[in-house]
Structure 1
Amino acid sequence: MDWVNKCNEPDKLRLGMMNAWRLNKMAEHKLMFIRLNKLINKDPDNQIEQEFYYMLEVYEQLLTNKYKRKTIAIRTRKMLKTKSVMQCMEYWAKLNAKTNGFKLLNECGFADLTIESIIQRHSNAFSIHLVDKTYFRLLTSINHTSCTLK
């Protein structure tokens, strides 16, 4: 995986990510995403944003697998045009109902990528009320692992 750290071509990294996903090599997939993020993101050292965009990448791949065609999280991307990542995360975390993203990520075994999990890992950046709410949501969720990655 040494080539990943040397690669400066986003298209090659995206192709590698697709192949890693297809082969269910999630650790390699994440390494390629981190490198891609450093190439194209304005603030690649922001850990919360990096985790958020990785979650979004995985969520869109799960949607693509579910619908058997390239699927983008349109409402999420639309909201990101008018709000910051932190504002979006706070908005979704405050909702009383579980979001579709939370449900799909959790069902497919990616509970650690949900916004709720990101907030737990970076609890010092969020209000105690939001941290408690997301903790309770994670605690009361069941990981079904009923979907396939391919």
Structure 2
Amino acid sequence: MILYSLCCEKEHGFDSWFRDSAAYEQQKAQGLVACPVCGSAEVEKALMAPALGSGTRKREPEPEPTAALPAEKTRPEKIALLSEREQALRAMIRAVREQVTQNSDYVGEEFATLARQMHEGEVEQRSIYGEASAEEVRSLIEDEIEVLPLPNLPDERN
């Protein structure tokens, strides 16, 4: 296992574990590595200090991290250890996602088309969520059509 410090295009920093560097590259190519703050898949490795042996010096014990997910929902190689603050942030993101998914219609890849049609008054307005390419989202924003990315957490994408 290898821990990478990662950074998204909006300069949000976060860490993630991978089986090896090839697993990171494969997951990144498939768009499975995303920022937990903004959901961006434009992620790069950040500069990291190498982990060196401590020699004879004694290390201060680090606070014991807690697992982000219940053990029954994870495979051992995919457990991420998160601080209480990170767990709280993820809980808020999950709550937002749940609120949107329970109170909106999933329209899949028709999201951009329907959002544009609702904005132009061609179809009745309603709450929707779905899939859109970066280019489609950019076009909607340029046309001042309000859209909001629905962030995915790493454990929801794997």
State the TM-score, normalizing by the size of structure 1. 0.25
Q: Higher strand proportion, which one? A: 2
Q: Higher helix proportion, which one? A: 1
Larger Rg: 2
